[in-house]
Structure 1
Amino acid sequence: MTTIQNHHKRPKNLLSSLTLLAVSVIFTINIASAQTISANKDSLMNSPISLDTLHYKSLLKRLANGDATGKWPVVSAAYPLPGAILPFKRVVAYYGNMYSKNMGILGQYPPSVMLAKLKEEVRNWETADPNTPVVPALHYICVTAQADPGRNGLHNLRMPFKQIDSVLSMAKSINALVFLDIQVGFSTVEKELPLLEKYLSMPNVHFGIDPEFSMKEGSVPGKRIGTFDAQDINYVTGYLAGLVKKYNLPPKIFVIHRFTKRMVTNYQAIKLRSEIQIVMDMDGWGSPESKKNTYRNFMTQEPVQFTGFKLFYKNDIRNAPNRMLTPKEILALKPSPIYIQYQ
């Protein structure tokens, strides 16, 4: 088996590279006006009044895609709350940071160009699977791991809220979801997650974590691959479930990146909650076969709830004759990923 390679370069101090990309269009959003966003909940989510449980189970079976291991679909005692996005829709997301062209497609192009490219990918997935509606998303790294310890000594850098606001405004222009992703460095999810409550209280904002940059052993980010345990994941789902109840929200999608076994430990102890939809996202880059092998080893064999798959515009084709997998090839996986991310 070809080993999937670490998809990030060694983190640099992002503060020193803010001049890499001058954002061509400045977007604003009035965060205080959460009522306006809440009023648009139905248009954003197409939320049903109640959950069609028979339809839900039939879609889970379809996603299992004929899996013969008995692991899929994952059977949970609790159905998701009404308004759940998965598996009724597939999410196709662009990933990155507005300050860096090297961290993903989201920050590589001017916003108008980037959004046009995202809409094109959405159409590709609608064509590949016409039975599953597709919703676009912007997956924004709002806390980035750093090689330098920085002022807080935590080897991470929190993005200014004005940048999160600009991503929200871009998403609103195409009726897209937003994911806020954190790379904790020497920090913890307990410390970083509550700082984002005002955004996560919005119905269209979801969450992601990157175990690769959770440096529990004290290594500098980028030197070793980090890890999260089920205990960390359960803290996040518990916290997000609390927000869903507090603000009367539809279920939150929670994305966990993974491309090695050690990145997520004790997966069997991860708790499923009606308020949260967990996606384990295959996050490695490499040849088509190595990516599929990694998916089989860590997504198929260690089931949690839903699966995702990341595609790299640059890294997946770095070594000839490598190429990016097509939507048709990804849909043939067992189970079929319901969350697709492009970097």
Structure 2
Amino acid sequence: MKKLIKAGACLAVIPALLLAGCSQSASSEKQEPDSKEESAHTSEKQNDATKDETKNPSEPSYQAIEPSDAAQPLKSNYSSKQQAEMPLTEAHGDSTERSVPLGQTLEKGAEDQTEGPLKNNRIVSYYGNPHSENMGILGEYSPEDLMDKLKDQTKAYSELDPERPAIPAIELIATVAQRNPGEDGLYMHPTSDEDIERYAELAKENDALLILDVQLGRDTIMNQVKSLEKYLKLPYVHLAIDTEFHVEEGQVPGENLGHVDGEKVQEAIDYVSNLASENELPDKVVIVHQFADMIINNKEAIQPTKNVEVVLNNDGHGIAALKRSGYHQLVHNQPIQYGGFKVFYKKDEPVMTPEEVLELDPAPAFVNYQ
């Protein structure tokens, strides 16, 4: 399913994430483990992953992919001519002056009061659900092969910008919006605990982050966030909100464009902030996905806290020039704190290189691949 949505001066394409016609009991393209041995192994992992085994839970639990000794500072990877022309490739008739120096991830006028992962690093994530190839790269590879590819992609950013080494992250869709209302009429299907635990353990074993993404359907943001609380209490687990899939009575995800109010997003940010503070957890990241200006009302209500870094992630696949323009309008022109940028391996024209992604103003602190 593809729709073109006008977003200021750019066209953004709705990501084809939904499982058309799926039901709560039959939404996957791959099967769950059905042997007793596999089930027992999964249960053992689940018990291990949900325990707070960290001796110092307030200490960061991730490890950035270090650059090689030969890596050069970001600016040295671009000629003076390239640097002079960078704003032109993004502005599309708007101001061609950079708002912040090349490579800076904090948006103009923004501050970071946390000790979160984005303060000195970049996050590079792989997005999707293990039961559907159509929803992202997580459905295309085994967990082990996925991590190898993710680490290679992450290292490319560390090599390009060694002063801000990148951290690998798995962005798992924890609730999948669907066209079928399901038994509860919420038009969404929760990912199983077994799957979440499997990827939580994978992230932990590889010193990576796990980002749990909620697509909402007709449920509220807070209901979804609270349903994931036991995972958000893990030091390496963070939150993402897919805003375009939040629909109202009489609407269907994927057929109708969803909307959220910035105040509702802020409730989730504050909730995660309090969770981190009360449980002495490392500072958290909340990613807010958006590909059209009309999706989030009252965006000025969305603000970072002392415990939470906030990323506004520019989604949408298609022509690279339009993706740059969309980032300029949704991130550069409406600064909150950090910018994020999604790259589609199969649907972008062409697929932007890490060098091209980091030309953006400000440089994305979060880059996710689907």
TM range (shorter): 0.7 to 0.9
Structure-2 separation of matches of 1:314 and 1:110: 19
1:20 aligns to what? 30
1:80, 1:251 within 8 Å by CA — same for their partners in 2? no
1:187, 1:214 within 8 Å by CA — same for their partners in 2? yes
Amino acid at match of 2:28: L
Amino acid at match of 1:333: L
What secondary structure, in the 3-state scheme, does the structure 2 residue paired with 1:20 have? Answer: coil
Structure-1 separation of matches of 2:314 and 2:31: 28
Q: CA deviation at 1:120?
A: 0.7
Structure-2 separation of matches of 1:250 and 1:192: 21
In structure 2, the CA distance between the partners of 1:31 and 1:152, relative to structure 1 (3 Å rule), is: farther
105, 115, 120: which one pairs with 2:137?
Answer: 105
Q: CA deviation at 1:35?
A: 2.8
Bigger drift between 265-274 and 12-21 goes to 12-21
1:73 aligns to what? 108
6, 11, 24: which one pairs with 2:14?
Answer: 6
Amino acid at match of 1:241: S
1:59 aligns to what? none
- 1:229 maps to 2:258: no
1:51 aligns to what? none
In structure 2, the CA distance between the partners of 1:272 and 1:31, relative to structure 1 (3 Å rule), is: same
Bigger drift between 260-269 and 13-22 goes to 13-22
- 1:297 maps to 2:307: no
RMSD over aligned CA atoms reads 2.5
In structure 2, the CA distance between the partners of 1:43 and 1:87, relative to structure 1 (3 Å rule), is: closer
Q: CA deviation at 1:155?
A: 0.3
Structure-2 separation of matches of 1:20 and 1:35: 30
344, 347, 355: which one pairs with 1:328?
Answer: 355
202, 207, 210: which one pairs with 1:175?
Answer: 207
Structure-2 separation of matches of 1:46 and 1:120: 14
Bigger drift between 143-152 and 106-115 goes to 106-115
Q: CA deviation at 1:9?
A: 5.1
Q: CA deviation at 1:246?
A: 1.4
Structure-1 separation of matches of 2:363 and 2:237: 24
Amino acid at match of 1:74: G
Equivalent residues, number: 318
Amino acid at match of 1:6: I
What secondary structure, in the 3-state scheme, does the structure 1 residue paired with 2:26 have? Answer: helix
Residue identity (%): 31
Higher gyration radius (CA):
2
In structure 2, the CA distance between the partners of 1:32 and 1:173, relative to structure 1 (3 Å rule), is: closer
2:162 aligns to what? 130
1:65, 1:333 within 8 Å by CA — same for their partners in 2? no
1:285 aligns to what? 317
2:235 aligns to what? 203
In structure 2, the CA distance between the partners of 1:41 and 1:100, relative to structure 1 (3 Å rule), is: farther
Amino acid at match of 1:18: S
2:88 aligns to what? none
Amino acid at match of 2:198: S
Q: Which runs of 5+ in 2 are unaligned?
A: 1-8, 65-97
Amino acid at match of 2:180: D
162, 168, 181: which one pairs with 2:194?
Answer: 162
Structure-1 separation of matches of 2:193 and 2:277: 24
1:181, 1:210 within 8 Å by CA — same for their partners in 2? yes
Structure-1 separation of matches of 2:291 and 2:315: 5
Give CA deviations for 1:61-116 in whole Å, capped at 9, x if unaligned: x993259xxx942334xx523x3111311000011111111111112111121111
Bigger drift between 269-278 and 300-309 goes to 269-278
2:213, 2:241 within 8 Å by CA — same for their partners in 1? yes
After the TM superposition, which residues 42-53 of structure 1 pair with which residues of structure 2 at under 5 Å, given as runs?
Answer: 42=59, 44-45=61-62
Structure-2 separation of matches of 1:120 and 1:341: 14
Bigger drift between 197-206 and 38-47 goes to 38-47
Structure-2 separation of matches of 1:126 and 1:267: 31
1:91 aligns to what? 123
In structure 2, the CA distance between the partners of 1:240 and 1:40, relative to structure 1 (3 Å rule), is: closer
1:247 aligns to what? 279
1:128, 1:328 within 8 Å by CA — same for their partners in 2? yes
Structure-1 separation of matches of 2:360 and 2:283: 26
Q: CA deviation at 1:215?
A: 0.5
After the TM superposition, which residues 25-44 of structure 1 pair with which residues of structure 2 at under 5 Å, given as runs?
Answer: 28-31=45-48, 34-37=51-54, 39=56, 42=59, 44=61
Q: CA deviation at 1:130?
A: 1.4
2:85 aligns to what? none
Amino acid at match of 2:101: N
TM (norm. structure 2) is 0.80
1:4, 1:286 within 8 Å by CA — same for their partners in 2? yes
